[in-house]
Amino acid sequence: MWFDSFIHSFMNQMAVLRITDLIDILAVSYVVYKALKFVRATKTMQLIKGIVLLVMVTQISALAKLNTLHYILSNVLQLGLIAWLIMFQPELRRLLEHVGRSSVSKWFNSKGELGESATRMIREIAHGAQAMANNRVGALIVIENEDNVSNLISSGISVQAQVSGELLENIFVPNTPLHDGAVLIRDEKIELATCVLPLSQNPNIRQELGTRHRAGIGISEESDAIAIIVSEETGRISVAYKGLLETGLDEETLRIRVMQLLSSSVMKKDTDAKFDWRTIVKRGKDA
């Protein structure tokens, strides 16, 4: 029977399997797993689907003897490597940055606990966000995490100041020189103000969300940065992370949420599981 033949062939293969072969298989499996996980977290998946579709159409054109179409597609595929490098340049840069990261986070002390300065920074951000929400002052604060976001930001005025709630309030006072745009916090300091961020192109974002929310979601789609948005219209506080928007926060819940996100990213946990779409949609309707 075919099953007996399969078992016999399988046992023969296992008999010649070496320890190095097992290590090789595990290494390749791990690399493929990490690559798929990285691709899933970016917009790369859409490009890969397009490439797979192109290859399929090329093969179909060959089988159907559509010579002209097959000739054109075959030549297009021959330039695929160069095109791939060009199209995936932002993702490849992020991948190399990810590989080169230190295993010890800048937010944590030697004991693996959230550092005192990082805790103070989060507390000041939450306090400032709540004060601006109470006064209906719009704000967009980006906390750079492991990914360097310099290549995603255009413009920006250097501030180089310690993070404080009062300073954040002053920056976003309407009709002042620094209020328009986002604030970038890097290495526990206010690095830049008036930053222009990439807008999210996600068609599922609610239409009532304005440019500030789309910019916050956009930077979170392209990096692991945490974006805090204060709505000028509603006074509600939101957090964008990994392309997902969580709304309806206050000072205390914002402080806890940012601490959770920083902690989970450092410990390599999958924070996507922490977001429940039904909760986000329900909260979003109240925004």
Distance of CA 164 to the CA centre of its chain: 26
pLDDT given at position 124: 96
Q: Return the number of other C-beta atoms located less than 10 Å from residue 207's C-beta.
A: 5
Q: 214-226 in b/e burial notation, b at 16+ Cβ within 10 A?
A: bbbbbbbbbbbbb
Tell me the H-state helices in the chain.
2-15, 19-40, 44-63, 67-78, 80-87, 89-99, 116-134, 165-171, 211-222, 251-266, 277-286
pLDDT by position in tens, the chain (length 287): 666 776 777 677 667 777 887 788 888 887 777 666 666 555 556 666 777 787 888 888 888 888 888 888 888 777 766 766 676 666 666 666 555 554 445 555 555 566 788 889 999 999 999 999 999 999 999 999 888 888 888 788 999 999 999 999 999 999 888 888 999 999 889 999 999 998 988 888 888 888 999 999 999 998 889 999 999 999 999 999 999 999 999 999 999 999 988 877 555 444 343 444 444 444 444 44
Tell me the C-alpha distance between 184 and 150, whole Å.
Answer: 10
- Compute, in degrees rounded to 10, the torsion defined by CA atoms 273, 274, 279, 281: -70
> What is the token pair recorded at 69?
């179409």
Helix axes 19-40, 89-99, angle to 10 degrees: 130
Domain 116-286 has CATH 3.90.550.10: no
Q: What is the C-alpha separation between 140 and 216, in angstroms, rounded? A: 7
Beta carbons of 217 and 240 less than 8 angstroms apart: yes
3-state secondary structure of 208: coil
At position 192, the amino acid (one-letter code) is: L
Supply the pLDDT for residue 215.
94
The confidence score (pLDDT) of residue 271 equals: 38
In the chain, where the domains are located: 2-99, 116-286
Task: DSSP letter for 55, please.
Answer: H
Q: Is 75 exposed, middle or buried (0-12, 13-18, 19+ CB in 10 A)?
A: exposed
Cα separations in angstroms, 285 against 132, 167, 213, 246: 21, 31, 14, 11
